[in-house]
Structure 1
Amino acid sequence: MKRVYDMVIVGGGPAGLTAAIYAGRANLDVLVIEKREIGSLLIAHSIDNYPGFPEGISGRELYELKKKQALKYGVEIVEGTFLELDIFSDPKVVKTDVENYHTHTVILASGWPKNNEKKIEGEAEFVGRGVSYCATCDGAFTRNLTVGLFGQGDEVAEEALFLTRYSKEILVFAPEGELKCHEELKDALAKHDNVRIVANSKLKKIEGSNYVEKVTVKENGSERVYDLDYTFLYLGTKSSEELYAGVANLDSNGYLITGEDMKTQVEGIYAAGDIRSKLVRQVTTAVADGTVASMEATKYILKKKKEAK
């Protein structure tokens, strides 16, 4: 049986950790997904206008205090890159490069939205022409083609297994010494002769004419070129529009539009902090957003539990 959390929070900044503290204190089963050493709070040298610290406090100190308080209430905190949110599953599924997490509610608190600039050379140019972020969406287009998947975790393994229905050859490029996923997924992949794991590999460049034709990969310290017809990226390079368009309405700058209750247009999903469309972005306003989102999500969870009895 898959573990199902009451609440998964994407982002370990002021909004996310505040939401976690409130939900943990309410005895909910809470998971926070954060990216290591990433966030505007961590790089703040000194915060002089946060109430309760007349001498000021560094962003890192404030982060460590908030994290300690969340852990005190039993909150689980893991590192990972958020890839996708499956809003059609029940419970919902938060997909990362480490693992897929099942949950009844989600609070999106991942900070400033990503714009449409892509991190990989050639990525933006070939989106929709051999670059995809979803094998289950585009797998049918890869019939008898050679494809590559780039990333880590259960999501990559599951997507590779799906592609075995269509693709001629499937190369899974793992950035570390092995593909990190559950053992049953590894065993399932091993049963397919057309699946190959390429370890210690990092995507550097995507090239082609009208469609993707080849990629350059840094593999064990040296660059190597692979001929590929299709690439599936699980590297956290999606823009906010690509990540959240099905979850919430976005303003012209990519921020998620919510009401004062932090609710998005999808039941059970909330947004808080700098990712939300609003007038002021400060640590204090992020904390306020996290408080409201957590309290609203908690009410939603308790109502669902009562209805289920």
Structure 2
Amino acid sequence: MHKVIVLGTGPAGLTAAIYLARANMKPIVIEGMEPGGQLTLTTEVENFPGFPEGIMGPDLMENMRKQAERFGAEFLKGWVRKVDLSKRPFKVFVDGQADLESETLIISTGASAKRLGIPGEKENTGRGVSTCATCDGFFFRGKKVIVVGGGDSAMEEANFLTKFATEVRIVHRRNELRASKIMQDRARNNNKITWSLNSTPIEVVAAENRVTGLKVRNNETGNEEILETDGLFVAIGHTPNTGFLEGQIQTDEMGYITVKPGSTETNVLGVFACGDVQDHKYRQAITAAGTGCMAALDCEKFLEGNAIHDWSLVLKS
């Protein structure tokens, strides 16, 4: 039996673990197959406060983990197969570990960016391929970039990137965009944005460890060409990592966990959610960390009046 289990080790989960450990709550933190979350896939992070010269994404996450461990957080590797939230204590079933029980649960499993699944994409992530314009746009000042996608997110990222890039080309596999009319109009009225519609990306081209182009196929003619670019931003959406919950937590139509306004409380008493798994708008390391802090404080306050065990006796023993 544990006081609290944290699922996920991105900025939200690790911040929650730091606060919980400092409150002597001895959190158990479950690491998935990609410890550290999406920041481990990035290179330099320049917009996280406290690092005037920037810091590498994996280094930032390793520092957060060490900080949590310093205060007594315990980390377990494994994949959460499922959870049982029908009653407290909650049950957590982890591959490679004994089944766990906890009085409370903090879900910080994040959201995974959808990928194109084409050659050169994965191996050049962090070397010119990105899924976050607000994170990486600054690195492309004075350069040409491509945004792949046809929804609101793609239009928003393209407009944002025009603050830095000399040219932003939108590539979409259809002739028509899925984006709302107002977002389409903003993009079409931006003279820095060019268009390659009805074009399907088929390969990311790179040389000397950097992206140099995107090979596309015209869907009408079948002709292939390489669009020269310094960077590729994939903006085809995100998938919240909530499948293991099997519908036990209330989510929105996109699958993101719904929390009570101004808190991290879910519809299940004693279960809290933080980070990108409940945030489809901002998706930043600093906002995720902020909600991780909120979840820890919400969890601690909840246990003050809803503890199952007398933990003072457990700790003395």
Per the normalisation by structure 1, the TM-score is 0.55
How far apart, CA to CA, are the structure 2 residues paired with 1:241 and 1:69? 27
The answer to whether the aligner puts 1:112 opposite 2:114 as a matched pair is: no
Give every structure 1 segment of 4 or more consecutive aligned residues whose post-TM-superposition deviation is greater than 3 Å. 239-242, 305-309
Aligned residues: 184
Query: What are the residue-to-residue correspondences of 1:71-90 with 2, within 5 Å?
Result: 71-90=69-88
Alignment counterpart, residue 300 of structure 1, candidates 286, 299, 302: 302
How far apart, CA to CA, are the structure 2 residues paired with 1:113 and 1:41? 12
Aligned position for 1:15 = 12
Stretches of structure 2 that go unaligned for 5 or more consecutive residues are: 115-239, 312-317
How far apart, CA to CA, are the structure 2 residues paired with 1:7 and 1:70? 14
Shift of 1:278: 4.2
Alignment counterpart, residue 61 of structure 1, candidates 44, 59, 62: 59
Aligned position for 1:191 = none
Closer/same/farther in 2, CA of residues 244 and 56 from structure 1, 3 Å limit: same
Give per-residue Cα distances to partners, 1:261-297, cap 9 Å, x unaligned. 1111100001110111442110000001100011000
Q: Please give the root-mean-square deviation of Cα atoms over the aligned residues, in Å.
A: 2.4
Closer/same/farther in 2, CA of residues 68 and 74 from structure 1, 3 Å limit: same
The answer to whether the aligner puts 1:250 opposite 2:246 as a matched pair is: no
What is the one-letter code of the residue matched to 1:288?
G
Aligned position for 2:193 = none
Query: What are the residue-to-residue correspondences of 1:208-227 with 2, within 5 Å?
Result: none
Aligned position for 1:283 = 285
Give per-residue Cα distances to partners, 1:26-70, cap 9 Å, x unaligned. 000210001244420111101101101011001111111101110
Give per-residue Cα distances to partners, 1:8-36, cap 9 Å, x unaligned. 00001100000000000000021000124
Give per-residue Cα distances to partners, 1:204-257, cap 9 Å, x unaligned. xxxxxxxxxxxxxxxxxxxxxxxxxxxxxxxxxxx8564335332222221111
How far apart, CA to CA, are the structure 1 residues paired with 2:87 and 2:258? 23
Aligned to 2:38, the other structure's residue is in SS state coil
Shift of 1:302: 2.0
Query: What are the residue-to-residue correspondences of 1:118-129 with 2, within 5 Å?
Result: none
Query: Rg larger in 1 or in 2?
Result: 2
Aligned position for 2:168 = none
Q: Is the 8 A contact 2:4 2:102 kept in 1?
A: yes
Stretches of structure 1 that go unaligned for 5 or more consecutive residues are: 116-238
How far apart, CA to CA, are the structure 2 residues paired with 1:12 and 1:51? 19
Q: Is the 8 A contact 2:80 2:244 kept in 1?
A: no
Per the normalisation by structure 2, the TM-score is 0.54
What is the one-letter code of the residue matched to 1:80?
G
Percent sequence identity is: 33
